[in-house]
Each structure stands twice: as C-alpha cells, then as structure tokens.
Structure 1
Amino acid sequence: GFLCSWSVLFSLPTPHPSQMSAAEENVDFRIHVENQTRARDDVSRKQLRLYQLYSRTSGKHIQVLGRRISAKGEDGDKYAQLLVETDTFGSQVRIKGKETDFYLCMNRKGKLVGKPDGTSKECVFIEKVLENNYTALMSAKYSGWYVGFTKKGRPRKGPKTRENQQDVHFMKRYPKGQMEIQKPFKYTTVTKRTKRIRPTNPS
C-alpha cells in the first residue's frame, strides 16, 4: 500500500501548455457567466430616484420638453421633475422626464435631444461628482462630451464642453415638498434589497 501511494505521487503529470490554455478558457467562461448574471441582475440593481437638476449657469432646472431640452425650469416645474435610473455603483444614469416620458440623450453631433426610447447608449451618462459638490454628466457613448447649458438655458453642443466649465455643473435638488417623502422611501428600498446604499456625498 505504501509503495503504491509513492508511485501515484511520482506519476503525476507536469502541467502542459495545452492544460494552461484550458485554465485560461475556464477564466473566460467564468467572465462570460458573470456578465450573463450581471445582465440578469440589472433589473434588481437599478434604483429609481426623482429629483431636479439645477444648472449652475442658468440658475434654473433642466427640463425635458419632449424632444426639446432646456435649463429654464423653475423649482417644482412639472417638466423639471426627472426620474433618474442609476445602477448600484451610482456611476451610469439614464434620465427621463417624468411628465413627458422622454429620455435625455446626446446625439452624434453632440446635441442634447429627448427620445421616447432610452435603451440607446446615447441616453446613458456617467455621473461625476466634482470637488465643489456639483455633478457633471458625461456622455457614456461620446467620451469627453458633457451635458451643458448657456446662461439663457440653451443646450451646449457636446464638443464645446469641458468638465471644469460651469456650464456643465449641476446640483441635485428634490422637488418642493418631496424631501420628506423621499427619505422613508429610500430606507424601505434598502431593507428590501438587503444592500447598504452608500451615501451620495463623500465625507
């Protein structure tokens, strides 16, 4: 019996390059499975919040007026109520006008437009929280192009925007009377999800 176990030890094959590639294939397969699972989990991971986006330059709020976008909305304006869909990590967002059901999107010319279907990557933005506590929204499809407005509340073209311009700086604001409603709502979603939501403002 003792000799037998020794012969087993010595007859173990050394790893062969072909086996290594099989291990690599395993890794690829695992990544594939993770991606598939991630896609399935997407629905459960999304968080929907209602708020307004206050433009630093126009002093008003972003409005989704159907296909037209502006930053001329007063506090509490129905076209300024935005439903913002965020993934758990909080970086990628889709923004929909609550009143019109149109999504805020940026087309290939860098123009801000409203679209009834928000599935395109043109309607996904990467949220960046800046040092001054303002938020900038960069196009997920056209890197380096930001949502921005002039002092008159007119949209700026993406290619003319930069992260450090005041034109692209926004502040999240709850609609009048919504703050009290939002808070308990947030906590109920936390308990249902059994995930801790990270605070939006870094301390």
Structure 2
Amino acid sequence: MKTRLLSPVLAAALALSAGAASAADYAVDTTHSFVTFKVSHLGVSYVLGGFDVTSGTITFDPEGTPADQKVTVEVDLTSLDSNHAERDKHLRSSDFLNTDVNSSASFTSTSFEGDATGGVLKGDLTFFGTTKPIEVSVTKVGEGKDPWGGYRAGFEGTAKLTPADFGMNYNLGPAAATVDLNIVLEGVQQ
C-alpha cells in the first residue's frame, strides 16, 4: 500500500513542474503532501487510509528534456492511519507492512514522459524491503507565489500496486490483490 503512495506523489511533482521559468529545486512541504490508499474490503466496500510524507525533493527544468526531471520521496509506514486503531495495528504487523523491520518506503524517479500539464513518471519504489519499477500518472495542480514570499508548485499522482509483487503475501482474496494510491505533493522552491 505504501509503495503506491510514494510513487504517485513523486510522479506528479516531476511532471507538473514544467511551468516554472527555469530549472529549480523544490523541497517537499511535508505538511501539505499526502499519500493515501484505497483497497477493496471483501469486494463490497473499501478501506481507505494514508501515510505521512517525511521528505522529498523535486528537480526540474521546464526547458530541459524529460530526463532532466527528478523526484525522490520518502514515506513513514509507521504513520499508517485508516481511522481504526485495531486495524492499523494489524496492518503494521508482520502480516502486512511489518513496520518493525520496514518502517519506510521510498521512490526515486528514473524517467518522465509528458509535458507541463502531466504525464507518466517512472521510477523505483522500495517497499517491504524490495525495490521494483513502477509508473505513476501525474497531473499538475498549480504553481505560484505564496503569502510568505516563496514560490510553490503542487502535483497529484495515481498508481496501482500489487503488494504481493513486493513480498506482502497476506491473502485477503482477489478483490484486495491491488491497492490504488493517490499522491499529493506540494513543493517549496529553494
């Protein structure tokens, strides 16, 4: 679940920053960045939850090539919140995330295909102790000056993950085999 969250956020940040005037580095504002998940519950409803984004950087050059765009992001898996304390405890256990061993997930971009409005961000997601390539669909939310004299840019990304691909094998049935991730990243230009 956590892996999906990280990738969409990173992808969104890279793809949408093309509107800036020149190459810039953005620090992810962790108080305005989120990774959320949605997974089927018994095929009749959904469990929704989220994780805290603990750090990240976005580097892009709107006049450069897609290869010039870079994103890294880290998510705290122990911050899992699905609005139910006992479920959260179980999801953090060795049955699922095993946060005693794997307390974070990270994403590092490897390429981007798109334009200033969005596209597909590819990169390596490290989740559950395993690193695999993933793709994140990204859309630029907006950018501009903030009230404190800074400049910000925001992005949204989505991805679909299969936790079993990363070694999480607790079987909740076929309806819960994949997890939808939504990533919202806001960056402050450095």
Q: Same fold (TM over 0.5)?
A: no
Structure scoring higher RCO (CA < 8 A, sep ≥ 6) equals 2
More strand by share: 2
Instruction: State the TM-score, normalizing by the size of structure 2.
Output: 0.26
Q: Which has the larger radius of gyration?
A: 1
More helix by share: 1
Instruction: State the TM-score, normalizing by the size of structure 1.
Output: 0.25
